[in-house]
Structure 1
């Protein structure tokens, strides 16, 4: 039978421990909001504070060093709300702070809350926007802008000086430029006989960049130095929202696009031959959409079972139509000094054709971990 403990009434946190119970292999906490959270004994042993007490959070021990047959012998709740856990195989009890236990609880509701899902959007999106002077000079403004990028996979930044190289300076606000065969930064401007259709005046369908790389650049930034007088509007679409709609409307097509990898390739004769193979829709371990790849200019012939080709094309084309559905896309016109950033594994971007005036953007790539690290550091220091 589990052993239950009464809880001192003096604890006055927003969410308090209402009751404790334990068996030999599990601690269970019932919280004041009615939630029940289980903590297996071996998990508690592996997360003892004396195994994770370095300021940088790095552990001093490995799970292989844990003793065999860990048993939970007793639990004590202090007047300050901390929980002391007596585990067989250890000389002293482990003291866990209540807030830490709540933050790392393993019940389904707590685990779902930690899986913060992205904010899906469609053509009704109010453009998430920041001001360069504020973002560059104020931590709160920077955190707010980075949070918009993190949650929506896309944001604008107004007022960036319309000077060459400033796109890299924006990256330095949160991370580091990822250099590719296009260089540290690249110009997007119409030229004669372009190697890449991006360097023409033609319209570009919605796409993710560089799907022929493994890994793909995760963040892409484009900064407007000169705007065409007619045409050239930018377009973005939330690939996660399109994938979510495909999952709901055509689950078999969705499943097929997640199961089969397709090849992508980019070639510059004698210089570059980049190849990668991955699903158009990639799922994480929980079955949530983790990445979208779509680029009609770089996709190579499908390598599929002949009996599956027709069904795959049906799914591929259906997904492509969603990615260009006006109800899901957002268009906007860049003025000199405007910059936009996209999560290149989520948000597709495109361009309408232009015919009058010069359109000059500069772009670069960055990794997402720098952005999330800066964001979380800024938010935790508030």
Structure 2
């Protein structure tokens, strides 16, 4: 609820019932008006352009009406009402200073010792609350497991169907992860793999990866996940200058694994938004191309920071390890969580299938479920 409203011709000042205050500019309020002439009632999309708003816009009146804000704009002589809770959620009159490498609300970084989020396949399909919590875990922690699923080839596509769509690549709709003769990718051998993000040579990268187990009787082959955001936080705290170098200069990645494929990308290993928010990690030694975008006098310091980040990623205290059983899978946010595996022997068999999907579909499904059942998000 609103307690008090004052205004000039360009600014509305509010005091909420909890004592907090906020100011809003006339142009912002008019651009974000909630009336059906400004926003389509069915989907909420804006019906006007910035050019449709008068350049000489001003506020003639602003008052409380039933606990909401009512504003009249000139020269349109247009009155719009804004709910108090909507204004509180969208207030921008606040401290916008953040430390470099801050993480968004709702993101929890982690190290070894975290209880791996997990759900049962059958329960996911019968209980929306379990599905919602599983999706929320992926959003918060960047990974989650799923157990008790079917063991026929292609079952991983049903996991993607829970929230979105498969992103097809040159590897196909999905790909096999098992030992091959003359493999096109080291993932198709029994070698151990350092923790990495997949496909950093794509722009944009696939934002989700699903790895689904069909057979796993070989000795070894444990899966490991590492929170890249947490590794970046450790680098930031230990070596701020090195952190700034990995954020400030692009690395290069390349893949030429088969005929007709030559993928290249130029992106920083640690990507920040303009206001310093941690956005993405790209770390994959196998796919690194020569770094040519770092100034000569900073190259040695860049490599020192790169080495230090790798040491944090390789630190056993960072990784969560588990061995997948047939019918189990895990999903990772490929812009944040790195995955690895221990080596495995030729005895027995290890057969996983993998596919890519997009995080916007998962977040959309989660937001839609929370909109229908907001109590589930509390």
Q: 1:67 to 1:31 in 2, by over 3 A?
A: same
Give a deviation string over 1:18-53, Cα, whole Å, max 9, x none. 222212211111112221111111111111222124
Give a deviation string over 1:234-264, Cα, whole Å, max 9, x none. 0000000111111111100000001111111
Q: Which residue of 2 aligns with 1:266?
A: 255
Select the residue among 65, 70, 92 that pairs with 1:106. 92
Matched, 1:244 2:244: no
Q: Is the 8 A contact 1:153 1:342 kept in 2?
A: yes
TM-aligned CA deviation for residue 189 of structure 1? 0.4
Matched, 1:290 2:276: no
Q: Which residue of 2 aligns with 1:127?
A: 116
Q: Which residue of 2 aligns with 1:12?
A: none
Alpha-carbon distance in structure 2 between the residues aligned to 1:41 and 1:307: 49
Matched, 1:68 2:55: yes
TM-score (norm 1): 0.92
After TM superposition, the structure 1 stretch with the greater mean CA deviation from structure 2, 327-336 or 198-207, is 327-336
Q: Which residue of 2 aligns with 1:381?
A: 372
Matched, 1:49 2:6: no
Give the match's secondary structure for 2:285.
Answer: coil
TM-aligned CA deviation for residue 328 of structure 1? 1.3
After TM superposition, the structure 1 stretch with the greater mean CA deviation from structure 2, 337-346 or 221-230, is 221-230
Give the match's secondary structure for 1:353.
Answer: coil
TM-aligned CA deviation for residue 117 of structure 1? 4.3
Q: Which residue of 2 aligns with 1:26?
A: 11
TM-aligned CA deviation for residue 307 of structure 1? 2.1
Give the match's secondary structure for 1:198.
Answer: helix
Give a deviation string over 1:204-230, Cα, whole Å, max 9, x none. 000000001111100000000011342
Q: Which residue of 2 aligns with 1:137?
A: 126
TM-aligned CA deviation for residue 269 of structure 1? 4.7
Q: Which residue of 2 aligns with 1:175?
A: 164
Q: Is the 8 A contact 2:213 2:353 kept in 1?
A: yes
TM-score (norm 2): 0.93
TM-aligned CA deviation for residue 139 of structure 1? 1.9
Q: 1:74 to 1:115 in 2, by over 3 A?
A: farther
Matched ranges for 1:1-382 at <5 A: 16-50=1-35, 51-78=38-65, 80-108=66-94, 115-303=104-292, 304-355=294-345, 356-382=347-373
After TM superposition, the structure 1 stretch with the greater mean CA deviation from structure 2, 149-158 or 22-31, is 22-31
TM-aligned CA deviation for residue 67 of structure 1? 0.3
TM-aligned CA deviation for residue 310 of structure 1? 0.8
Q: Is the 8 A contact 1:261 1:279 kept in 2?
A: yes
Alpha-carbon distance in structure 2 between the residues aligned to 1:41 and 1:129: 47
Give a deviation string over 1:122-173, Cα, whole Å, max 9, x none. 1021110111111123222111100000111100011111111110111011
Alpha-carbon distance in structure 1 between the residues aligned to 2:110 and 2:104: 18
Moved over 3 A (4+): 109-112
Number of equivalences: 365
Give the match's secondary structure for 2:321.
Answer: strand
Q: Which residue of 2 aligns with 1:10?
A: none
Give the match's secondary structure for 2:320.
Answer: strand
Q: Is the 8 A contact 2:2 2:64 kept in 1?
A: no
Q: 1:287 to 1:117 in 2, by over 3 A?
A: farther
Alpha-carbon distance in structure 1 between the residues aligned to 2:93 and 2:19: 12
TM-aligned CA deviation for residue 101 of structure 1? 1.4
Give the match's secondary structure for 1:258.
Answer: helix
Q: Which residue of 1 aligns with 2:376?
A: none
Alpha-carbon distance in structure 2 between the residues aligned to 1:111 and 1:149: 27
Q: Is the 8 A contact 1:237 1:329 kept in 2?
A: yes
Q: 1:230 to 1:270 in 2, by over 3 A?
A: closer
Structure 1's unaligned 5+ residue stretches are 1-15
Q: 1:269 to 1:103 in 2, by over 3 A?
A: closer
Give the match's secondary structure for 2:138.
Answer: helix
TM-aligned CA deviation for residue 186 of structure 1? 0.5
TM-aligned CA deviation for residue 287 of structure 1? 0.3
